[in-house]
Amino acid sequence: MRAAIIRLASALAMVLASAAAFAQSTYPNHPVKIIAPFAAGGPSDLIGRILADKLSLSLKQRFYVEDHAGAGGNIGMTQVARAVPDGYTILVASSSFTVNPSLYAKPTYDPFKDFAPVTLAVDSPNILMVHPSMPVKTVKELVALLQANPDKYAIANSGLGTTPMLAAELFKLSFKINATSVPYNGGAPAVEATVSGQTPIGFATLPPAYPQVASGNLRGLAVTSAKRSAALPNVPTMAEAGAADQDSDTMQGIFVPAGTPPEVIALLNREIVEALALPDVQAKCKELGFDIVADTPAQFTAYLKNEVDRWHRVIVDAKIPQIQ
User: In CATH, what number is assigned to the domain containing residue 99?
Assistant: 3.40.190.150
pLDDT score at 10: 54
User: Residue 3 falls within a domain, yes or no?
Assistant: no
Residue 138 lies in a domain: yes
In this structure, are strands 89-93 and 249-257 parallel, antiparallel, or unpaired?
Answer: antiparallel
Q: What is the mean pLDDT of the chain?
A: 90
- pLDDT band (50, 70, 90) for residue 235: very high
pLDDT at residue 17, rounded to an integer: 45
Q: What is the pLDDT of residues 167-181, one digit of tens each?
A: 998 899 899 999 999
Identify whether residues 270 and 216 lie together within a single domain.
Answer: no
**Does residue 57 sit in the same domain as residue 119?**
yes
More confident residue, 225 or 263: 263
Domain endpoint, select from 206, 223, 240: 223
Query: Are 254 and 173 found together in one domain?
Result: no
* pLDDT score, position 4: 47
57 and 201, same domain (yes or no):
no
CA distance 19 to 261: 10
In a domain, 113, yes or no: yes
Task: Give me the pLDDT at residue 25, please.
Answer: 63
Q: In this predicted model, what pLDDT tens digit does every residue of 120-156 receive, in sequence order?
A: 999 988 999 999 999 999 999 999 999 999 999 999 9
Per-residue model confidence (pLDDT) at position 23: 40
Clarify whether residues 133 and 217 are in a common domain.
Answer: yes
Helix, strand or coil, per DSSP, at residue 315: helix
Question: Is it the case that residue 16 has pLDDT exceeding 50?
Answer: no
Residues 113 and 34 in one domain: yes
What is the C-alpha to C-alpha distance for residues 233 and 225, in angstroms, rounded to an integer? Answer: 12
Co-location of 135 and 277 in the same domain: no
- Cis? peptide before 28, omega within 30° of 0: yes
Cβ–Cβ under 8 Å, residues 42 and 96: no
According to the model, what pLDDT value does residue 13 have?
A: 46
Q: What is the pTM of this model?
A: 0.78
pLDDT per position as a tens digit, 305-316:
999 998 898 888
Which of these three, 223, 258, 289, is where a domain ends? 223
Neighbours of 26 (CB within 10 A): 9
| Res. 287 pLDDT band, cuts 50 70 90 | confident
| Domain tally, the chain | 2
Residue 239 lies in a domain: no
Say whether both 107 and 78 belong to one domain: yes
Classify residue 217: in a domain, yes or no: yes
The reply to whether 243 falls in a domain is: no
CATH of the domain at 190: 3.40.190.10
**207 assigned to some structural domain:** yes
How far is it, in rounded angstroms, from Cα 32 to Cα 55? Answer: 10
Residue 160's pLDDT is what?
A: 79
- Maximum Cα interatomic distance, the chain, rounded to a whole number of Å: 84
Range of the domain at 177: 125-223
pLDDT attached to residue 177: 94
Same domain, yes or no: 313 and 269: yes
Average pLDDT over residues 13-33: 65
When pLDDT is averaged across residues 53-61 and rounded to a whole number, the result is: 98
Q: Both 140 and 216 in a single domain?
A: yes
Q: Are both 134 and 197 inside the same structural domain? A: yes
pLDDT digit string, tens, across residues 255-266: 999 999 999 999
The answer to the question of residue 234 being in a domain is: no
Strand-pair category, 249-257 with 154-157: unpaired
- Cβ atoms of residues 293 and 120 within 8 Å: yes
pLDDT band for position 321 (cuts 50, 70, 90):
confident
Same domain, 85 and 169: no
Does 112 score more than 60 pLDDT? yes
Give residues with Cβ within 8 angstroms of 144, minimum separation 6: none
